[in-house]
A = this chain, B = another copy of it.
Amino acid sequence: MRIKLLITGGTIDKVYDELIGQLVFQRTYLIDMLNRSRSMVDTLSEVLFLKDSLDMSDIDRALIVKKCQESDTSHILITHGTDSMIRTAKLLAKEINNKTIVLFGSMIPYSINCSDALFNLGVALSAVQIKEYGVYITMNGQVFDFDKVEKNKEIGIFTLL
């Protein structure tokens, strides 16, 4: 089974820029993460953009939808910032019903000690291979239907709605 991996940015890909003392995007680390994880899943990745999900526009979201619609494979993983992940998931569910789409991200960048990124990638990659057609969010070790999840911003946890 081939998996399409669409990369859009979010916390997972942020790294520290020591000249400005801030976390920024430089490139994606998803391929490094898959290699380190010794994944043998047939994965074809594509970087759409590298953005905070709060900075995503309607045009950005339309591009994600279009890329999913055009995808040859029916199993799609999307990295996404957590703040508007549910909004994008709802849009995808409205437009697409013949694919398994799993959105995930991380609360702590892969570049930082004690990141949840590798674990989250594992949960998402497993779910996208197993679940029926539909749109899902995998965070905090759980697999949520797109319309039965909310992010509790007080504690940074996704919970069942």
Chain A residues near B (Cβ < 8 Å): 11, 16, 18-19, 21-23, 33-34, 36-41, 107-109, 111-114, 116, 118-127, 129-131, 138, 140-143, 153-159
- For the complex, would chain A's binding face be called helix, strand, loop or mixed by DSSP majority? mixed
Task: List, sorted by A's number, 11 A–B pairs whose CB atoms are closer than 8 Å.
Answer: A16-B108, A18-B107, A37-B116, A40-B141, A41-B140, A111-B113, A121-B122, A122-B123, A122-B124, A123-B123, A126-B138
The answer to whether B126 and A122 touch across the interface, beta carbons within 8 angstroms, is yes
Q: Closest Cβ of chain B: how far from A112's Cβ, in Å? A: 5
Q: Tell me how many chains of this kind the complex includes.
A: 4
Closest Cβ neighbor of A154 among chain B residues: B19
CA A58 – CA B22 in complex, angstroms? 26
The answer to whether A116 and B36 touch across the interface, beta carbons within 8 angstroms, is yes
Selected contact of A38 from candidates B109, B125, B157, CB within 8 Å: B157
